Amino acid sequence: MTRLSLIDGGFLLTESHHSPKHVAALLVFRLPNGKGKAWLRSMLDEMKQWPPCFPFNQKLKDNPGPLYELEPDRHLEIDYHVRHTVLPSPGSDSQMLDVVARMHANLLDRDRPLWEFHLIEGLSDRRFAFYIKIHHALADGITIGRWLGDCGATSADQLDTPPIWAHEENSGDREESGISYREMLFNGVKLLGGGVKTALGVATLSAKILQRRFLDGDSSIALPFSAPKTTINVTPGAARKISIASFPLASVKAIGKTLGGSINDVLMTMCDVAISRYFDSHEDTPDGPLVAYMPVNIRTSEDEGDGNLVTLLQVKLASNHADPIDSFHEVRESIISAREVYSGVPRDAVQYYALMVALVSLAEEMLGLHRLFRPVENLVISNVPGPREKYFFRGAEEIGLYPVSTLPPMTALNVTVCSYHGTLFFGLIAGRTAVPDLDILTTYLEDAFHDLADATGVSVDQ
């Protein structure tokens, strides 16, 4: 039996019908030469023969949270978890995204292992896709990326790679046997001591934020409840809208280098400029800079396990979008300030602070407090590094890797980016009612990229 950490369990604790806490990857492939739908369906049948490993063979034990536990599912039905969808002609990207949006809107069944795998057949240009949906309590983006890497091949000739649910397990065994009363008592004392240390760390972080903002006069620091009210800060509802885009990694990197910043600085600026133009087009300009959740990986070289080792930084975005370069520098300064405030604080304290902020958003949604208070944040912008080399699965070339993430309470927009083989793949997900025209926002995202490229003299064909 495996006990989830309080951070991992937090994704179950804060889950609701309007805010499912699963994440997903949408992988697009091209069929090998000479292969068609018969090969594809035969491959799926063969994949089902692979038995799931940890955590894909685990379900939640029937006990109350927040101390969630996993136990093996002795009656796992692979046909429930591994599914097949065929798109009607012409098999467009729009049809695929509509299907994925419906799949992504549904909560995972807590009586079964918390994952689904969908083979999507019938895409145009000899393409097919995998939609892989996993509860965030089991893994963060880095972990899922590692599992996908375990199941990919760098050669089209390697035809025996396992499906993701049969990835190679870590050498450390996650299964735990029963413990004695003495061990329970010892662990309780250890947990209490760690809790006191963590509480002090959270208090220290809170004090650092207040000092930096008010005593040091750093206006780029984002405080809780400092985000402006917008039309995307509503209960997102159950229905979802998904859009995708891609940009050359070399061009984005060159823009950042020209301006003295990073790839992440460019991505954050692109999103900020795009959402600002979206609001302007709807005559709904916010009364101040937006505040974004920016998930940050806090793993070290020694952290090889599963689960979540990520926290959320609150980053204030630009106040003026007339010049994309000015916007870039303003966003960059905010990111630097946020990282400096969080630096030196124990990792557990940073994670628990982020969980506390997330619970505040959940309370706003459940109790209707959004009518009285400003939002904690306006949107989520995340950047997940992916593989640099080209991957294949059973000889099929992987040509796209789009992240499909989750929406926090009172937040109807998430933009997640994943790099793969020289391209940055954007996955935009929104509440369907709050942002019905997500494609327009994607167009503004492309415009923001070209504006930054033009302003810096960077070629978009790199």
| Bridging pattern class, strands 396-404 and 22-30 | antiparallel
pLDDT in tens, 146-167: 899 888 899 999 998 999 999 8
Torsion-angle region of residue 125: left (phi > 0), alpha (psi -120 to 50) or beta?
left
Q: Which band of pLDDT confidence, cut at 50, 70 and 90, is reported for residue 365?
A: low
Residue 212 identity? R
- Catalytic residue status for 167: no
Question: Is 396 within the bounds of a domain?
Answer: yes
* Helical axes 249-258 vs 438-456, angle rounded to 10°: 50
Which amino acid makes up residue 326?
D
pLDDT band, residue 293 (cuts 50/70/90): confident
**Domain count for the chain:** 1
| SS3 call for 424 | strand
Locate 298 and state its tokens.
Answer: 């806090």
Check: CB of residue 445 under 8 Å from CB of residue 248: no
Report percent pLDDT > 70 for the chain. 76
Q: What does the H/E/C string look like for 282-344?
A: CCCCCCCCCEEEEEEECCCCCCCCCECCEEEEEEECCCCCCCHHHHHHHHHHHHHHHHHHHCC
Domain extent at residue 226: 1-170+219-335+373-462
- Which residue's entry shows tokens 């460019």? 266
Helix (H, G, I), strand (E, B) or coil at 35: coil
pLDDT above 70 for 297: no
For 341-361, how does the pLDDT look when each residue is reduced to its tens digit (9 = 90+)? Answer: 767 666 666 666 666 666 666
Per-residue pLDDT band at 3 (split at 50, 70, 90): confident
| pLDDT at site 172 | 41
Give me the torsion for CA of 12, 231, 268, 388, rounded to 10°.
50
Q: How far apart are CA 294 and CA 271, in angstroms?
A: 12
Place of tokens 């604080």: 345
Q: pTM for this structure?
A: 0.86
Give me 377's structure tokens.
Answer: 């944040």
Count of CB atoms situated within 10 Å of the CB of 371: 8
Q: Which listed residue (104, 118, 136, 370) is catalytic?
A: 136
* Residue 444 neighbours by CB under 8 Å, 6+ apart: 273, 274, 275, 277, 278, 281
In a domain, 200, yes or no: no
DSSP string over 54-111: TTTTEEE-SS-SSS-EEEE-TT--HHHHEEEEEPPTT--HHHHHHHHHHHHHSPPPTT
Winning range, highest mean pLDDT, from 128-137, 171-180, 379-388: 128-137
**Pick the residue with more confidence: 17 or 177?**
17
Q: 26: closest CA among 120, 138, 91?
A: 120
Alpha helix stretches (DSSP H) within 106-248: 141-150, 181-210
Model confidence at 145, pLDDT cuts 50, 70, 90, reads: confident
Specify the DSSP element, H or E, that contains 26: strand 22-30
Question: Has residue 194 been placed in a domain?
Answer: no
Residue by residue, DSSP assigns 220-267 as TBPPTT-SPP-TTSS---S-EEEEEEEEEHHHHHHHHHHTT--HHHHH
Contact between 246 and 252 (Cβ < 8 Å): no
Asked if residue 213 belongs to a domain, the reply is: no
Identify the helix (H) or strand (E) that includes residue 135.
Answer: strand 127-135
Residue 216, pLDDT above cutoff 60: no
Backbone angles phi, psi at 8, to 5 degrees: -60, -45
Under DSSP, is residue 429 helix (H, G, I), strand (E, B) or coil? strand
Q: Which of 89, 191, 70 is nearest to 135 (CA)?
A: 70
Summarize the confidence of residues 421-444 as an average pLDDT. 97
Does 63 reside within a domain? yes
pLDDT in tens, 393-418: 999 999 999 999 998 888 999 999 99
Q: What's the mean pLDDT in 89-101?
A: 97
**Strand, helix or coil at 47?**
helix
| pLDDT score of 307 more than 50 | no
Q: Which residues contact 416 (CB under 8 A, 6 or more apart)?
A: 141, 380, 381, 382, 383, 384, 403, 404, 405, 426, 427, 429
**Interior CA angle at 454 toward 449 and 456, to 5°?**
95
DSSP state of 399: E
pLDDT at 339: 82
pLDDT given for residue 19 in this prediction: 84
The DSSP bridge pattern shows strands 115-123 and 127-135 to be: antiparallel
- Residue 296: pLDDT band (50, 70, 90) is confident
380 lies in a domain? Answer: yes
* 353 inside domain: no
Q: Say if residue 252's pLDDT is above 70.
A: yes
Judge whether 189 lies within some domain. Answer: no
